[in-house]
């Protein structure tokens, strides 16, 4: 019976020497070391071995199992090393070549426009003020001289979050907060998101951005307002840009005007409406505790998306909020 072990030892090593791939090695494992393999069967033959040969047979069978397992692991390692060596024999990385630059993000076109506007007015002495996006009716309507009967206060035209709180519909609320906490003279701009339940299309959105300007001092006039807006137009749109004020009505300014800027829109110089402006209404001053007999001031409000779309020839406001990198990478 010991001859069976010797023959199996010879056959196993002979077949293992001929193995040249991982598939062949797996077939060898199943044939010799598997649960139904030849080495396993040796232990099943132990019951048929004569009693006097059983100790020697069992000992040699265990030795054979260990030898085949060791030979198998050695062959497995050599095949893995060959595969690794084969992979390493491919093209080498040239560490002297310049690396690929990291892909950096960039400021959104709205952020770029806000920063540009803040820089222009900053050079004229205006500082930037901010305020909450959830406002109460006092700051969003009452202090701005908007009566309860005004259509701008209709619940269907605002995003109310409670009986007295809503998502602000204009950044003029920040001007009220600034005047409540500071004494004149004041020269600020307020930028931020505002919300109105408009039907979304190429020129309207339910969330957009505004910049509001406020200047309060003694003897401020419409001349100061128009001079400020002309300087802004020249800085943003070039020396050919011009400003026109068309009489209008707003509850918080008197007199009031629509602001038009003459600029090149790709088809020559054209007039474009960009916002509203006017002299601060005395009732607004009274709401914040200012004496309208002592102080005067002007205010203006501009749509940031409108300015960005005209300056960069963007035809659809929805593109600004879709986060399509193909569009955003252009700016």
Q: What is the pLDDT of residue 22?
A: 83
Q: How many CA atoms lie within 13 A of 26 on its CB side?
A: 3
Domain boundaries, the chain: 2-87, 109-328
Place of tokens 């128009």: 226
Query: In residues, how long is the chain?
Result: 331
3-state secondary structure of 217: strand
What pLDDT score was predicted for residue 80? 65
Beta strands in 144-206, from DSSP E residues, in sequence order: 159-160, 165-167, 186-195
By three-state DSSP, how is residue 194 classified? Answer: strand
Estimate to the nearest angstrom the gap between the alpha carbon of 281 and the chain centroid. 40
> Which candidate, 310, 230, 331, places its Cα nearest to that of 267?
310
DSSP-assigned beta bridge partners for residue 302: 211, 275
Q: What is the reported pLDDT for 323?
A: 85
Burial of 288 from C-beta contacts in 10 A (0-12 / 13-18 / 19+): middle
Residue 237: CB atoms within 10 A of its CB come to 20
If the chain, 331 residues long, is cut into consecutive pieces of 10 residues, what is the mean pLDDT of each piece? 75 82 84 81 75 76 82 80 47 77 84 94 94 94 91 90 92 95 94 92 91 95 94 87 90 93 74 91 95 95 90 88 86 83
CATH topology of domain 109-328: BirA Bifunctional Protein; domain 2 (3.30.930)
Which pLDDT does position 37 carry in this prediction?
81
Q: What is the pLDDT of residue 90?
A: 54
Q: What is the pLDDT of residue 304?
A: 93
By CB neighbour count within 10 A (0-12 exposed, 13-18 middle, 19+ buried), where does 120 fall? Answer: middle
Sheet holding 269-280, edge to edge: 127-129, 186-195, 207-217, 296-303, 269-280, 253-264, 242-250
How many beta carbons lie within 10 A of that of residue 102, not counting itself?
A: 5
The C-alpha angle 228, 229, 232, rounded to 5 degrees, equals 90
Rounded alpha-carbon distances, angstroms, from residue 295 to 185, 197, 285, 289: 9, 36, 8, 11
The Cα 228–Cα 18 span in angstroms is 91
Using CA atoms, how far apart are residues 275 and 245, in angstroms rounded to an integer? 10
Q: Is the pTM of this model over 0.75?
A: no
Q: How far is CA 293 from CA 36, 182, 282, 284, in A?
A: 106, 18, 8, 13
Q: What pLDDT was estimated at residue 86?
A: 44
pLDDT on residue 85: 42
Which helix (H) or strand (E) is 212 found in, with range? strand 207-217
Rounded to whole angstroms, how far apart are CA atoms 113 and 311?
9
């Amino acid at each position: 019976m010991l001859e069976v072990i010797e023959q199996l030892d010879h056959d196993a090593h002979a077949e293992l020497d001929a193995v040249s791939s991982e598939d062949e090695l797996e077939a060898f494992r199943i044939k010799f070391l598997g649960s139904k393999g030849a080495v396993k069967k040796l232990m099943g033959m132990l019951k048929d071995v004569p009693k006097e040969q059983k100790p020697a047979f069992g000992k040699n069978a265990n030795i054979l199992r260990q030898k085949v397992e060791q030979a198998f692991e050695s062959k497995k390692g050599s095949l893995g090393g060959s595969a690794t060596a084969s992979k390493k024999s491919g093209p080498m990385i040239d560490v002297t070549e310049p690396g690929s630059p990291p892909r950096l993000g960039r400021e959104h076109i709205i952020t770029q426009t806000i920063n540009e506007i803040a820089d222009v007015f900053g050079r004229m002495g205006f500082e930037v003020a901010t305020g909450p996006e959830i406002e109460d009716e006092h700051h969003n309507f009452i202090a701005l001289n908007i009566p309860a009967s005004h259509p701008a206060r209709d619940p269907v035209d605002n995003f109310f979050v409670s009986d007295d709180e809503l998502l602000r519909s204009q950044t003029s609320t920040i001007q009220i907060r600034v005047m409540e906490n500071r004494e004149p003279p004041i020269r600020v701009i307020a930028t931020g998101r505002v919300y109105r339940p408009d039907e979304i299309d190429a020129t309207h959105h339910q969330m957009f951005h505004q910049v509001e300007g406020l200047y309060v001092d003694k003897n401020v006039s419409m001349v100061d307002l128009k001079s400020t807006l002309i300087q802004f137009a020249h800085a943003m749109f070039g020396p050919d840009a011009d400003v026109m004020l068309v009489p209008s009505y707003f509850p918080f300014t008197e007199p009031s005007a629509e602001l038009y800027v003459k600029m090149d829109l790709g088809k020559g110089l054209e007039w474009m409406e960009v916002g509203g402006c006017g002299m601060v209404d005395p009732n607004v001053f009274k709401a914040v505790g200012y004496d309208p007999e002592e102080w005067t001031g002007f205010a203006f409000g501009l749509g940031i998306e409108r300015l960005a779309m005209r300056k960069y020839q963007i035809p659809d406001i929805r593109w600004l909020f879709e986060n399509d990198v193909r569009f955003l990478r252009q700016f």
